[in-house]
Structure 1
């Protein structure tokens, strides 16, 4: 059984994605509401510590983990954030987390592999400087690493591109088949911003991961929409018309085409602030009918919540995305117990990592590395 630590664990989506072949020996998050859902699903878990990561002691972490997963806060790195980067109040939580890893290293217990996950904005934050700083820290600590951008839409009907920095300790061999040349499917040109800023040593330790493309997705957003949603109600006709009134001509044309489709059409709407022709900022309702949900966000800091729009001929209905629908978009199982309050449930889902993406990375990179080295050690013995 492979072991792992789960920092910034939230509702435990990384743990669910890793699967039954992995044993969690430490989990941490400062949010007690998420902790309730985590413990309910995993039936207790004595290893979950509800605490600020800055107060975590290495004595609380058992053994030497095969993997450390850390989805550190994204607010200061998000494209919609304040631009503070990893020096910010929230995303700066990376540093106390890294202090824990540094102490483990001094104790001779450095994790064999590390995965850091965050929003795409991390790639371009401060013109690549923030990502380059993180890479340099990993290399100094004895890791070879490579960043990748993976969109959950490959697995789920949910547009959610995220950065994954996958690091392997220098004491482990990396099978040659797992690395290669940059692949535009995983390595956008923007990664060059950080690569160019790296020291010569860090560049030499940069890995271009060779990740297989998953089988074509068969599910659509419509498949996940509830006919009788729990936790939300359909808007009144007045409210629906008010939302339609916020649409630009382009979005109104999309709605018009959906009405002419001659079938039930499900779409999503986000409210966004845009400048009009006169340069005045106005709130707009932007709709998409491609059977893919927009990226889930947490309902805090002024972020809008995703709205479902159902079109059947000239009949149009709208409502908020339900908590269970949000959970499905993240790949959570139907048996997962969500918080009772809408905002708490939506926050848990919107603040997590897509479950099947975790499984894909674990299966095709982390487990490949660990299994190869286990075989090598058996042969040596």
Structure 2
């Protein structure tokens, strides 16, 4: 079997590890959050995990065994379109630089990972008019990595709208199979990403790779298939509470509810409460619903309005409740035997802050593993 050893930075609950799968060996994992670390240990054990601020780590904290892959799902808050816009200069997203300091240290010690993968929100492509994306690309180029990026929406695999940026770098002394390259952008390279690449400085652009990755099979299940009949940890809202939720809806959203009533089957909608401007320009709270059998993007619950609500419509019967922690885990592709925190907010934060498991598996199967397989074949041929 090919050697597949990895480091998992900003590990959270180990969702990248879950996506890579049992054929991969975790050498080291890191997260600064004690509560997330408790979940990581509960599901994966404690041997590889070090709970600490990445800015305090040095290469001496990493095992001497060389990793084939360094995975980093670094914080997105400062890069998100919904964030404060501090970008890579922000307190949280700026931890990218601490991660890269470790990578530079490994390079100096001749322990550079064969592959480096960064994962973040797709808004990172446009952050600071593309300057943050260019900075990330520049670090790959300067470190001697060929690199490229793809946008993968979890909706291809799971009933959740969750597009994410994956920047994948390969040491330039390793051969990339030609089948994994393309001369032109593909479905994985939307216009915003193409524009960002076209704006890169020419020297940095010379290391760019347009990745060619197979499309997944069509998803054959929807949001309603993941809903618990008897929810755990959440209660159905009273009829009065549901009426108050409906009262927050605009005419457009109320029409969606009326159409759902006449669908002739159970309809599951997801609801987010958002602040909108009314006709007079005043800020008002609105409830917005979708019935396309697709969940909105899970977010960490910084406040009540960010928690996703469910609206279950069966004819004239309309019920509402919070989405359960187990349902959020299913929306991330975690199996039902994955142990979640007992506290609802902690479980929601863990899942909403993670990476979609099947998206990681698809990237591993169609890009990372073929590259490492070519590396192993070259090593054996040279021996």
Q: Deviations over 1:285-329 (max 9, x none)?
A: 110001111000000167511001000111100000000000000
User: Is the contact between residue 124 and residue 193 of structure 1 (CA under 8 Å) also seen in structure 2?
Assistant: no
SS of the equivalent of 2:339 reads coil
Q: Does 1:236 align with 2:238?
A: yes
2:103 aligns to what SS in structure 1? helix
SS in 1 for 2:147: strand
User: Residue in 2 aligned with 1:365?
Assistant: 367
- Aligned mate of 1:124, from 112, 126, 129: 126
Separation in structure 1 between the aligned mates of residue 218 and residue 329 of structure 2, nearest angstrom: 21
Contact 1:234 1:318 in 2 (8 A): yes
Name the residue aligned to 1:46.
47
Task: Give the aligned partner of residue 58 of structure 2.
Answer: 57
Instruction: Report if aligned partners of 1:115, 1:164 keep a CA contact under 8 Å in 2.
Output: yes
1:291-306 pair list within 5 angstroms: 291-300=293-302, 304-306=306-308
Structure 2: 5+ residue runs without aligned partners? none
Instruction: State the TM-score, normalizing by the size of structure 1.
Output: 0.98
Tell me the equivalent position of 1:249. Answer: 251
Name the counterpart of 2:327: 325
- The equivalent residue for 1:271 is 273
Equivalent residues in 2 for 1:174-253 (5 A)? 174-253=176-255
Partner in structure 1 of residue 99 of structure 2: 97
> How far apart in 1 are the matches of 2:305 and 2:93?
17
Pairwise CA distance, 1:181 = 3.1
Rounded Cα–Cα distance in structure 2 between residues aligned with 1:304 and 1:241: 20
In structure 1, the residue corresponding to 2:74 is in which secondary structure? Answer: coil
Residue number in structure 1 paired with 2:29: 27
Higher mean Cα deviation, 269-278 or 71-80?
269-278
Q: Which moves more between the two structures, 299-308 or 342-351?
A: 299-308
2:4 to 2, 5, 9: 2
1:91 is paired with a residue whose SS is coil
> CA 1:321 to 1:10, structure 2 compared with 1: closer, same or farther past 3 Å?
same
2:39 is paired with a residue of what secondary structure?
A: helix
- Per-residue Cα deviation, 1:44-65 (whole angstroms, up to 9, x for no partner): 2311000000011211212221
Give the deviation of 1:182 after TM superposition: 3.4
For residues 94-119 of structure 1, the C-alpha deviation after alignment (integer angstroms, 9 at most, x for no partner) is 11111111111111111110100001
| Counterpart contact for 1:297–1:303, Cα < 8 Å | no
Q: Are 2:173 and 1:171 equivalent residues in the alignment?
A: yes
CA RMSD of aligned residues (A): 1.1
CA change 1:337–1:99 in 2 (3 A) is same
**Cα shift at 1:184:** 4.3
